[in-house]
Structure 1
Amino acid sequence: MQKIILYTIVIVFSFLTKAVAQEKSFEQQAKEIATNIEMITTEEKNALKKEVEAIDFKVKEGKITAEKAQELKAKIAQERANNIETKVAIEEAKLAQLVQDKVDGKIAFSSSDKKDENLKKKTISILDISMNNDSIYKNSKREYRTTSQFVFAGGMNNLVTDGAVANSDFMYQRSAFYEWGITLKTRLLQNSNLLHLKYGLGFQYNMLRATDNRIFVDTGRETVLETYPITVKNSHTYFKNVYFVLPVHLEFDFSKTEEKDGKKIFKSQQGFRFGLGGFAGVNTNSKQFIKYELDGKKVEQKIKADFNVNDFTYGLSTYIGYRSTSLYVKYDLNPMFKNNNIDQNNVSLGLRFDFN
């Protein structure tokens, strides 16, 4: 029943997204999603805290034993974790739909839209994880040395096999990736705005759609592509890996430095910038989705297994762009599968948005 409700909400959102796409910019909608994710986590954690306090009070009054209290705490913690997973899944679906609409040209993005300024100020304060950034916007002539950003990226994804991505076994346009997270950006030099250290936390979603009606199969020794006996729906048949990652970049920001009353005022992400760095993380889950028709009936399969996918990932990434928008490339240095005879490394190319 919970899944039915979830899917219903996602479908309804898809129609609503298309209806308002012409009225709201990509930036506005992405920030609204970021706000929702933050509120979900905060509300569930606060609710869990109150429930734990109530259990501790019962122990203090002698109504339940300490052992029973631990059992109850574990149960409600799992329930709250499930709530977060379910609700955040809805927001992830919104992100996926949003980036698809952006790729299809249904949403215009304008980082210089002055009408969005109040929205930017409100949203960035919600995403802040280490300081209160409201004062940054209350005093436009002041810039903290460390600022926070909501990051979203999306584009094409594929595998490098034998050092090449040409003649791939996977569809170039249909194989996609997206990534979201929160970063902090610290100016490294006292009197220069050029160098920054950018670091944070995020999630990467790498999806592969194989050619020639094939799917991944774990043979026990290797994970290989094999032809599926039934014709599958290409748009709904794919392999997905999800990673929790820690990205770190050295960013060169060429924003102009202002001066007022003999004092330098540093502004970030107001001009050209590029970053060089990498990421490291862990695989949180691997799933294969298969959809086809059999005897006039639509059949959907979702297979969750390890598929011999490496538990850890690490790689290089770089971006170059203007203000909040950049061209983004990332490459996994370790192969996707553990024991395959031929190493295959994930590579992604797309657009990246850093909402400062």
Structure 2
Amino acid sequence: MKKLFFAFMLCTATLSYAAEGTDTTSVMLGKNKVVIHNDSLGISVSIFDSEGHQWKKTREVNFVDGQEVEQVFVFSPFIPLRKNTKRTFYPHFPDFYYGANLLNANSNVVMRDTKSSEWGFSPCQIGLSLNKQNTLGLVSSLQFGFVHNHFNTSSVIKRVEEETCMLPLEEKDVTTSFLKYYYVKLPIMVEWQKRLGRRKIFAGGGLALEYRYKEVSKYRIDKQKHTVSRDLGINALGINAEAYVGFGSVNLYAHYALTPLFKKGINAMPFGVGIGITM
């Protein structure tokens, strides 16, 4: 705080001897920039960090015709608008993502890969820096998603005597057979990031706890949907291996289940790949 006050007094003294055409003066104080602006209302002082973010102040002092005018703010002294401390780390989970979601399962499960998909969003995320360079951090997020697995139209997925299995369909002219469910995911990962110009390159990896709900198996004949079962013996909780890599606002991700999707029967391990965007 003493350094900031000294810089302020130094710049004010410099302005008193400057030419009349000088309205704004900037002085670097370490990694921060002190800007003194002179206009018809008086002289005001602003401080910016190395990334151009302006700091807030508890009070602002303007000098008008030899009089000191003080304005008081309800904040701590010169707090950055963004918390740019050494321990703050901004993760790069995608705000919105879309991709393919498949099942690494038994040979009797025939999927239609081009129609099996997932989408989701990450409403909140947090990070903690792990080094002084602020390039490595522990990150986490809360993600909500939806999965739509399509199968061969000659069979459906169903639970029989506590076991989940694929059964042949007797109906004809079936256009789609699918399984869908929702999930909430909590990933905990380690992310590396580095600034290249105005953007960052990043990569992350770790584990995620996934909660699945509202599963249902259906098939469709023309435009009419038929429900097969809403009790498919899905493991409500699962653990995934997660990874992503990206640059700027683009995120390429992949995940693979370390625990089976179903309790008994089909030994299916969901895995997905896709692209995400950070707003």
TM-score range, shorter chain: 0.5 to 0.7
Alpha-carbon deviation of 1:161?
Answer: 2.5
Residue 190 to residue 279, structure 1, CA distance change in 2 (3 Å): closer
Structure 1 residue 156, shift from structure 2 partner:
1.0
Shift of 1:151: 2.1
The answer for unaligned runs of 5 or more in structure 1 is: 1-135, 258-266
Q: State the shift of 1:326 in Å.
A: 1.9
Matched to 1:139, the amino acid is: Q
Partner of 2:268: 344
AA in 2 matched with 1:240 = K
Quote the residue 1:246 is aligned against: 186
Over residues 65-122 of structure 1, what are the superposed CA-to-partner deviations in whole Å (9 max), with x where a residue is unaligned?
xxxxxxxxxxxxxxxxxxxxxxxxxxxxxxxxxxxxxxxxxxxxxxxxxxxxxxxxxx
Distance 1:227 1:137, change over 3 A: farther
The answer as to 2:240 corresponding to 1:325 is: no
On the 8 A contact 2:97/2:119 being kept in 1, the answer is: yes
Instruction: Provide the residue aligned with 1:123 in structure 2.
Output: none
Aligned to 1:12: none
Change (3 A) 1:190 1:216: closer
Q: Which amino acid aligns with 2:248?
A: R
Structure 1 CA distance for aligned equivalents of residues 94 and 246 of structure 2: 16
State whether residues 158 and 229 of structure 2, in contact with CA within 8 Å, keep that contact through their aligned partners in structure 1. Answer: no
Q: Which residue of 1 aligns with 2:241?
A: 316
Pairing of 1:123-202 with structure 2 (within 5 A): 139=54, 143-144=82-83, 145-147=88-90, 151-161=95-105, 169-189=110-130, 191-202=132-143
2: CA distance, partners of 1:155 / 1:190: 33
In the alignment, what sits opposite 2:213? 284
CA distance in 1, matches of 2:161, 2:181: 19
CA distance in 2, matches of 1:199, 1:142: 22
Give the counterpart letter for 2:278 in structure 1: D
Is 1:206 the counterpart of 2:121? The answer is no
Amino acid at match of 2:205: L
The residue type equivalent to 1:307 in the other structure is: L
CA displacement at 1:186 relative to structure 2: 2.2
The structural deviation recorded for 1:328 is 0.8
User: Deviation of residue 196 (structure 1)?
Assistant: 2.0
Whether the 8 Å CA contact 1:150–1:182 is kept in 2: the answer is: no
Offset of residue 301 of structure 1:
2.4
Residue in 2 that maps onto 1:335: 260
TM-score by length of 2: 0.63
Please tell me whether Structure 1 or Structure 2 has the larger radius of gyration of its CA atoms. Answer: 2
One-letter amino acid matched to 1:285 = K
Alpha-carbon distance, 1:321 to partner: 1.3
What TM-score comes out, normalization by structure 1 length?
0.50
Asked whether the 8 Å contact 1:193–1:255 carries over to 2, the reply is no
CA contact (8 A) 2:202 2:245 kept: yes
Equivalent residue pairs, number: 199
More strand by share: 2
Higher helix share: 1
Question: CA 1:150–1:327 in structure 2 vs 1: closer, same or farther (change >3 Å)?
Answer: closer
The C-alpha deviation readout for 1:270-308, integer Å capped at 9, x for no partner, is: 221101012103222101232214xxxx42224562301
How has the CA–CA distance of structure 1 residues 193 and 291 changed in structure 2, closer, same or farther, with 3 Å as cutoff? same
Judge conservation of contact 2:89–2:134 (CA < 8 Å) in 1: no
One-letter code of the match for 2:262?
A: F
Residue identity (%): 19
**Structure 1: distance between partners of 2:108 and 2:267:** 16
SS of corresponding position for 1:209: strand
Q: Measure the CA separation in 2 of the matches of 1:138 and 1:192.
A: 19
Q: Retained in 1: the 8 A contact 2:103–2:268?
A: yes
Classify the secondary structure of the residue corresponding to 1:173: helix
Deviations 1:23-59 (A, max 9, x none): xxxxxxxxxxxxxxxxxxxxxxxxxxxxxxxxxxxxx
